[in-house]
Amino acid sequence: MATTERVAVLDHGYIEAIENWGSDERIIEAARMSTGKGFKGWGRLVCSCGAISQSARFTDSALASETPRPRPFIDDKMTVCPTERGGRHVTDGLPTDGDERLLRFLWENKHQTPFEMAGLTIEVQAPIFVFREWHRHRVPFGYNEMSARYTPLPDVNYIPSLERLLVGSDGKNRQAGTVAGAEAIDEQKARDFQAALMRIYSDAEHIYQAALTMGVPKELARVHLPVGRYSRMRATSNLRGWLGFLALRMAPGAQWEIRQYANAVGALIADRFPRTWALFAEGTGR
C-alpha cells in the first residue's frame, strides 16, 4: 500500500498524489495479453538462511505447492529477513525468475506500451518558471493550471537559498553559469539578491492588489507578476510518460529547482510501482 502522499519541495512547494492506477502486476498482465496467460507471480526470494518470501508463497503457483518450511518469512519489502533467533539480516539478493524476469525484459528492450497501463495524477505547487519548463513535456501528459484570469494568485514566492545562489561560484556547473564578465558572487552578494527579490515581490503584490481594487480586469492585473511566484496545477500521465520525464529532469543537466520536483515525483512512483522503479533506478532502458 502506498504511504507517500505529499512531498515538500523548495521553500513553499509540494507534490501531492491525487490518484494512481495500475500496478507492476497490471503491466505484466498487459504484456501477456497476446498469450492469454496473465500474471503468474513474482519469483521466489530465497535468503541464505533458507527463508522464502511470504508474498512468493501466495503468488507463485509452483511455490504454493511446496511443503511449508519451518523457516521465517522474508518481509514484503524484500530487503531484510528475520532470523530464527529474532534478529534481522540483509538478504543476499533478488532473483529475477517468475514475472520479474519478464518485467526486466520489457524495460531493458523498450517494450513500452505495457507501461502505459499504469499511471499517476498529482497536484503540484511550484514557481511559474518551473511550470514553464515542465509544460514542455506534452505527450502523454495532461495539465490544468491555476489561472489568474479567474482567481487572484496567492502571495507566495520563491526565494533561492544562499547555497543555491552560490552553487555556480566555482565555475564548474555550466547550467548554473553566469554571463561573461560577471563578478564572482559571494555570500554578501547572495544576501543582497535575496533582499532585492523580497522587495520586488512585495512591490509586485502591492501593484497587483491595487490594480484589482481599482477595477483592472484580473487577466490584466497579473501581467507584471514575477515568474518566481508560486502557482498550482494538476498533472497526469501514464508510467511511460512519467519515467521519460524523470529521465530528463532528474539528470544533472536539468535546472536544480525542477530536479527537486522530479525527485519528489520519483518518490511517489517508487512507493506505488516498486519493481518498475527499481529497474528505472538501475539506469537501464533510458
Residues marked as catalytic: 249
CB-based contact 5:17 (threshold 8 Å):
yes
State how far the Cα of 264 lies from the Cα of 29, in Å rounded to an integer. 28
One DSSP character per residue, 266-281 reads HHHHHHHSHHHHHHHH
**Reduced to 3 states, what is the DSSP secondary structure of residue 43?**
coil
Three cell numbers, residue 269:
512512483
Which stretches of the chain are DSSP H helices? Answer: 24-31, 54-59, 61-64, 99-108, 128-134, 162-166, 187-213, 218-221, 239-249, 256-272, 274-281
Give yes or no for a contact between 255 and 129, defined as CB atoms under 8 angstroms apart.
no
Cβ pair 111, 105 in contact under 8 A: yes
Of 187, 123, 200, 209, residue with least CA distance to 159: 200
User: How far is 162 from 164, CA to CA, in rounded Å?
Assistant: 5
Report the alpha-carbon distance of residue 156 to residue 66 in Å, rounded: 60
- Per DSSP bridges, beta strands 230-238 and 52-53 are unpaired
